[in-house]
Structure 1
């Protein structure tokens, strides 16, 4: 049965192929001939053609608008660290960011470097910025903004304050609320407090603000309370002194030493009893 059907189909195909002439099956000509005999208007097909063309045009316009809108959307690159972890991040302009533990930074890779160079952050980070006077560099936090051209500095956000320490160059440190602003040069630092609504230039140099990065702790006739504060920050622990010596001061350096060895040296030097509190 199938063979008989196939034979008839093949005969039909041969007949069409034998008698087919190019152009003889023109659908448009056939419609004109058919419509002219019956006095049929072509307005409806023409309107359909216009509608189809309009739909295509609207589609193209929509695609173009979507493309432009998508091009303006931010494309964020974000980097974060866990407690005790540090990371180095190079930006597209070769600016180097060293990220401390429990911190994050992000920037829009689409817009970075076109007119400005903007980075958002939280936590603690040290910046070594490539100089570009035409495109200033900015660090934005939830409380303040730091603007530079090319320099190295640290920004730390903690709770309701932001602190900036400048190693080289010059920076502008501006609070988000009000008009509080200071210009800081190499060796200077400042802190903004949300609670006090104050911008304070710190007069005492913090020799250990980069200890998390360098591994070096230095103390020069430093009051014991400040020593304990720096140790807590560097080792991320809670240290207390069980022997009260308010006048005690320390002069010493510790280069990437274990905490128990550091405490032993301080206790023997100052006749104190510094201990690390255990977490409950």
Structure 2
């Protein structure tokens, strides 16, 4: 076998740990031969220039066994290169010189490959496939109707946002991250569950309608239709229609109760529902609903109110409340000044 053939076949097999014992000995002989020095340099150049023909070489070679094998072969004088010699003249090889040359050459080959191996792996690490997300948000006083790539309808309340992968339909699950409040009408897909992630709480469904709200340190899941699974780090519960799951993020508790559908989900239809709300709660809801700020003078009124404002303007709401709470008011763009009597 010529040096060129060995370069393209045997050396690659050798570095890939695919050689037989006879082939390993042949490689050792080839490396030891003086006339193959230029071919060895050429092989190393090819390796450094990634001309390895796409051969995958095993990085975890047992170097200790390799050195033992080389030493045993030297001791048995199998590294002598048999060349034609003048008649009656015996050709010999200096064992010490041969061993030094072989170990240096093989160490160089292994060193070159080790560098290439880690370089190739480093390239893969430096070029990860980044996930690209879409985010939709609302400002104070704004609501949005959204249709997700799978057909799921989302109504996003004010000062809220949802985010999801752009490759939403290619995943094994349909995962949405929510901040604030949203109403979901989920398209059914038994093979790809729909998951809403809100802080440390997850709501998992196949196809259903429900409301999700993050308020201070609690997450509220109000189920209108279908069935959902709600879980946090420690617990898991299953909700049926008209049940609301509540997750407390301070003590990791998770429990459920019943709810008034109109009170919880009326907002998506333009209805501001106030139930047993005191003055401060009313003003807070109005700020969020209309995207305004209140400046108040005077003593805070007592008592609670129960009412529904169905798609009415801020001025209409304040006109009615001014008689209930006995105050005067002025509206200047997004600023409302109230003087309580």
Q: Name the residue aligned to 1:105.
A: 162
Q: State the distance in 1 between where 2:201 and 2:134 align.
A: 21
> TM-score when scaled to structure 1?
0.66
Q: Does 1:272 align with 2:328?
A: no
Specify the SS of the correspondent of 1:47.
Answer: helix
Q: State the distance in 2 between where 1:104 and 1:45 align.
A: 65
Q: State the distance in 1 between where 2:294 and 2:237 align.
A: 33
Q: Return the offset for 1:130.
A: 0.9
Structure 2 gaps of 5+ residues are 1-33, 57-119, 330-335
> TM-score when scaled to structure 2?
0.55
CA displacement, residues 214-247 of structure 1 (integer Å, 9 cap, x when unaligned): 212346xx4342972654543355598967453x
Q: Name the residue aligned to 1:52.
A: 46
Quick one: which of 103, 126, 129 aligns to 2:183?
126
Q: State the distance in 1 between where 2:255 and 2:320 align.
A: 34
Distance 1:208 1:149, change over 3 A: same
Quick one: which of 233, 244, 254 aligns to 1:189?
244
Q: Does 1:259 align with 2:314?
A: yes
Q: State the distance in 2 between where 1:257 and 1:156 align.
A: 23
Q: Return the offset for 1:164.
A: 1.3
Q: Name the residue aligned to 2:107.
A: none
Q: Does 1:168 align with 2:225?
A: yes
Q: Name the residue aligned to 2:271.
A: 216
Quick one: which of 172, 178, 191 aligns to 2:234?
178
Quick one: which of 216, 225, 228 aligns to 2:278?
225
Q: Return the offset for 1:140.
A: 1.1
Q: Name the residue aligned to 2:153.
A: 96
Counterpart contact for 1:239–1:274, Cα < 8 Å: no
Q: Name the residue aligned to 2:207.
A: 150
Distance 1:156 1:239, change over 3 A: farther
Specify the SS of the correspondent of 1:146.
Answer: strand
Counterpart contact for 1:232–1:239, Cα < 8 Å: no
Q: Please identify which structure carries the higher helix content.
A: 2
RMSD: 3.8
Q: State the distance in 1 between where 2:246 and 2:328 align.
A: 30
Q: Name the residue aligned to 2:172.
A: 115
Counterpart contact for 2:141–2:288, Cα < 8 Å: no
Distance 1:266 1:145, change over 3 A: same
Q: State the distance in 1 between where 2:277 and 2:49 align.
A: 78
Distance 1:92 1:47, change over 3 A: farther
Counterpart contact for 1:160–1:195, Cα < 8 Å: yes
Counterpart contact for 2:135–2:161, Cα < 8 Å: yes
Distance 1:223 1:267, change over 3 A: farther
Distance 1:84 1:254, change over 3 A: closer
Specify the SS of the correspondent of 2:128.
Answer: helix
Q: State the distance in 2 between where 1:53 and 1:260 align.
A: 79
Corresponding pairs, count = 231
* Runs (4+) off by over 6 Å: 58-61, 274-277
Q: State the distance in 1 between where 2:35 and 2:127 align.
A: 44
Q: Return the offset for 1:147.
A: 0.5
